[in-house]
Amino acid sequence: MGVNENVLKPLDRLSQALAGEMEAVNALIRQRMASKHAPRIPEVTAHLVEAGGKRLRPMLTLAAAKLLGYPGDYHVHLAATVEFIHTATLLHDDVVDESQQRRGRPTANLLWDNKSSVLVGDYLFARSFQLMVEPGNLRTLEILSNASAVIAEGEVLQLSAAQDLRTDEAIYLQVVRGKTAALFSAATEVGGVIAEASEEQVRALFDYGDALGIAFQIVDDLLDYGGATETIGKNVGDDFRERKLTLPVIKAVAKADQAERDFWTRVIEKGDQRDGDLEHALDLLARHGAMDAARADALDWAGRAKSALSVLPEHPIRDMLSDLADFVVSRVA
């Protein structure tokens, strides 16, 4: 998904508040990514799962369950399920995007091959379904299997939406919901469902995850055009070179005159990119206020995430989730 999970402080506080459960999640992940028969599987998964990553998604499940007072153990299974789905999609994304690096390390498709990434991704996906069956809760099964379908659909949609200047903000939102927000919202929603929260609370948890995921992805797309107030160490222009239509460009294209449209057609649709094109693109984004407008959208989604929390019980975890929404957008605010 290409999301830089550089959301340290509120996540660190969540990590501390959920340390015991998070350890159980990690133990379960290590146990279930093993394979008796195919040693290639733990090699590939260990490379990816142990490589770090902030475990943001499983933390959301644990946080939601704890916030709603869940007394049992199955939130651990659901959190591990969410991380397995995430990891499976990363393996397949790196094949589809022909990526060479993730989290500063060579990708599995580079270290092994595309075949291993495809098949080990399938294995993790299947393992995620085994895990999600274990709590015996049909509603969480529906939520997570629906999320899996929305994720895959979003990825396919992105294939055709990329390199197509007709991609508008509605399609962008659809893609973002699929590639990022669907798993965020499923993660928070299942935490509420397993805790037997009220319908209103479950809906609020869904809305929080959905809005947080959208804010998160918009920020990531902004950072790709250097939208940070301070240097973050992310390469500027990757999406431009891959001809992905993200929010800043969509906004600039909507305001383009004929000469600018010709430029975008050449660099994005035809893929004919020359020296100085990225700089010209950045100029156009600035000229039309596209970065500021996308930033305002991200802040708006973060605000919606925070508002959704209002119907949930007062609890230190609720405050951390609220801070998390602020922190996600603080990278571009």
What is the pattern of x (binds its own copies, CB under 8 A) and - over residues 164-193?
----------x---x---------------
Asked if residue 129 binds its own copies (CB under 8 A), the reply is yes
| Among the residue ranges 16-24, 36-44, 72-80, 231-239, the one whose residues contact its own copies (CB under 8 A) | 36-44
**End-to-end alpha carbon distance in the chain:** 22
CA atoms of 252 and 64, how far apart (whole Å): 38
Distance CA 70, CA 152 (A): 30
User: Cβ of 277: how many Cβ atoms within 10 Å?
Assistant: 16
Taking CB under 8 A as the rule, does residue 163 contact its own copies?
A: no
Q: Does 240 bind its own copies (CB under 8 A)?
A: no
One residue of 31, 37, 257, 314 binding its own copies per CB under 8 A = 37
- Contact (Cβ atoms closer than 8 angstroms) between residue 320 and residue 17: yes
- Taking alpha carbons only, the member of 171, 33, 29, 151 closest to residue 90 is 151
Q: Report the site for its own copies in 71-90 (rule: CB under 8 A).
A: 89
Question: From CA 62, how far away is CA 77, in angstroms rounded?
Answer: 10
* Cβ contact 33:105 at 8 Å: no
Segment near its own copies (CB under 8 A); pick from 7-15, 141-149, 264-272, 281-289? 141-149
Length of the chain: 333
Site for its own copies (CB under 8 A): which residue of 66, 75, 77, 92? 92
- Integer-rounded Cα Rg, in Å, for the chain is 20
Q: Which amino acid is at 4?
A: N
- 38 sits near its own copies (criterion: CB under 8 A): yes
Nearer to its own copies, 141 or 286 (CB): 141
136 near its own copies (CB under 8 A): yes
Q: Does 157 bind its own copies (CB under 8 A)?
A: yes
Q: Of 16 and 160, which has the nearer Cβ to its own copies?
A: 160
Contacts of residue 322, Cβ cutoff 8 Å, sequence gap at least 6:
306, 309
- Stretch of 14-22, 112-120, 194-202, 266-274 lying at the interface with its own copies (CB under 8 A): 112-120
Stretches 38-46, 62-70, 202-210, 322-330: which one binds its own copies (CB under 8 A)?
Answer: 38-46
Q: What is the DSSP string of 62-127?
A: HHHHHHTT--SSHHHHHHHHHHHHHHHHHHHHHHHTT--EETTEE-HHHHS-HHHHHHHHHHHHHH
Q: How far is the CB of 38 from its own copies (least distance, A)?
A: 4
> Interface with its own copies includes 138 (CB under 8 A)?
yes
Q: Which residues bind its own copies (CB under 8 A)?
A: 35, 37-41, 89, 92, 95-96, 114-116, 118-123, 125-127, 129-130, 133, 136, 138, 141-142, 145-146, 148-149, 151-157, 159-160, 174, 178
